[in-house]
Structure 1
Amino acid sequence: MASTRIDNGHGKDEMVHVQTNIDDMNPELCPYVGEKLMAAGAHDVYWIPIIMKKGRPGLLLNVLTRNSLLAAIETVIFEETTTLGLRYMKTDCKGLERYIEQVDTPWGAIAVKVGRHNGKVVQFSPEYADCEAAARNNGIPLKDVYEVARRSYVTE
C-alpha cells in the first residue's frame, strides 16, 4: 500500500490560538467563515456555543494557525464576522505523523488518513469526501462505505 506523507506544519513556526466571542452574527455564516479561515492557512477552526453577558447566546470562534499566517487570519475574521476584537495565546502543538493511504473497496479507491506515533499506526480514518462520493454514486448508505473502507485498511 503506497503512502503519501502529510505535512501537519506543527513545529515549523510558533503556533497561535486566536479566539473571539461573537453574539450578533447569523450562525449560518459559520461554515463559510471556517472555510475561508482554512483557505487562509488555519490548521484548525472550531466554534463553541456560549452564554455571554446578560444571558445572550453567542459563539466562541477558535482558530489555530502559524504565527506567520496571523495577518491573513485576522483579515478573514475581521472582514467576515461581526467581532470587534481578538485574543491571542501562543501555544505548542504536537501532531502525529500523518499519511494518506488508498484502500480498494467495491466502489473504488478510498483515501484513508493514517496517524503514526514512533512509527506505529495509532489512528486511521477514511476520508469523508471519498466515502460520501462513493455512497452517493452507488446509492448505498454512507456508514456502509466507512465500514468497508476501515476493514479494507485493517486487512491490507
Structure 2
Amino acid sequence: GLLPIPTFATLEILRIKGFPFKFGPVNGELATPTGVALLTALATPLPNLNLTFKPLKIGYGAGALELPGQPNILRVWSEMVEPVLLKDKVVVLETGLDDVTGELLGYVAEKLMGEGALDVAIIPCLGKKGRPAHILRVLSTPEKLNSLVKTMFNETRTLGIRIQQLERVKLQREDKLVEVEVAGKRFQVKVKVFHSLDGEIQGFKPEFEDLKKLVAETGIPLKKAIELVTQKFSQKTA
C-alpha cells in the first residue's frame, strides 16, 4: 500500500548519518534507501542548498484496524530545523597605497561610500622598503564594481586593484522608526534592527545621521539622545 515519504529505511539512514534534507516538489519518492545510503556515505551537504530538516528521533505506532490500500501506521519524528541562511554575492576591491595623505584617504573613502560601496576599510601596513603604507579595501555589490574601480583609479595613484568575488552570509536586517519627544517636540529616528538565525531580535542601532539631527535641533548631548532612543525602542519591542 501507500507509504509515507521519506520511506522508513530512507528516513532512518538520514537520522543515523545526521544528514539534512528538504521535501521536493514531486508528490512521490525521489530518494530511495540505496540512493540515500550512497549519498550520505560519499557526499557532504553544501550550505547553499538550504537543507532544512534533520531528523533526531523517530517513533512508530500501529493500529489493529485494517485500512484499504495503506498500512495503519502513525509515524512521528522530532527534528532539528536548520536555519535558512541569507546569502548574497559581493566583490572585494583592494589596493596598496604608500604615497597618499590621510586627507586624501578620508576623501576617497567618503566618496566610495557615497557611490554605493557596502563598506570601506583603510588598514595601515608596511610597504616595500619598509615604507609606511595603507591598504584600501572596498566591499561592493557586483553591479557597482565598474564604477567603484573607476573611482579608485581616478582618485588614487594606484596602478592595480585586486578583485575577489565572494559569497557573504548575513543576518536579516530591517529599519524601524522610533518617535521620541524632547522639550515638547517630537522627532523620528530610524533604528537598524538585526535578527539572529532563529529570527529573534539580536540587537539594534539608532541611525547616526538621525541622532545628529536630533542633537543639533535640541542641544542635548549625543549620549543622552542615544539613551532616549534606546529606551523608547526597548519599550516598543518589550
TM-score by length of 2: 0.57
Shift of the alpha carbon at 1:116?
1.5
Aligned residue for 1:119?
199
Aligned residue for 1:140?
220
Deviations 1:52-103 (A, max 9, x none): 1222211111111122321111101000112111111221111222111111
Aligned residue for 1:59?
134
Structure 1 residue aligned with 2:92, among 12, 17, 21?
Answer: 17
Aligned residue for 2:162?
87
Aligned residue for 1:3?
none
Q: Which has the higher contact order (CA 8 A, sep 6+)?
A: 1
Shift of the alpha carbon at 1:10?
5.4
Aligned residue for 1:5?
none
Distance in 2 between residues matched to 1:145 and 1:153, nearest whole Å: 12
Distance in 1 between residues matched to 2:214 and 2:203, nearest whole Å: 22
Change (3 A) 1:130 1:49: same
Distance in 1 between residues matched to 2:125 and 2:230, nearest whole Å: 35
Aligned residue for 2:18?
none
Distance in 1 between residues matched to 2:87 and 2:136, nearest whole Å: 21
Counting aligned pairs with the same residue, the percent is 35
Kindly tell me the number of residue pairs found equivalent between the two proteins: 146
Aligned residue for 1:101?
176
Q: Which runs of 5+ in 2 are unaligned?
A: 1-85
Q: What letter is aligned with 1:20?
A: T
Structure number, greater radius of gyration: 2
Q: Does 1:129 align with 2:203?
A: no
Distance in 1 between residues matched to 2:131 and 2:103, nearest whole Å: 17
Distance in 1 between residues matched to 2:206 and 2:161, nearest whole Å: 35
